[in-house]
Amino acid sequence: MCENYPRTPRGGEPGGTYVTLDDDAVREAALADPRSFLMSQAAPLAIDEIQLGGDRIVRMIKQLVDEDPTPARFLLTGSREQSATSTSTLSTTP
């Protein structure tokens, strides 16, 4: 599901897009050509269930942010199930 919203995001410009990778067609389009998919959506782009896109989409978002660090272009949401015996670490760099 891709939806354009006529809301006014931070910065005062109308627009924005919500997509969910829970939708098979959306996920397949995003995985087939992540750069084209991401660049074709109106910003800010909210991507729900980002974990379903795997590492490929997240890496492309990182590349796009590295190319243009304009804040608030992407909002990523999702969930992650984690077993009680597994551990995770978070590493951030300034």
Provide DSSP, 30-84: HHH-HHHHHHTSPSSEEEESGGGGHHHHHHHHHHHHHH---TTSEEE-------T
The kind and range of the H/E element at 18 are strand 17-20
**pLDDT of amino acid 33:** 97
Banded model confidence at residue 15, pLDDT cuts 50, 70, 90: confident
Give the pTM: 0.71
Average pLDDT over residues 36-41: 96
Quote the distance between the C-alpha of residue 23 and its chain's center: 14
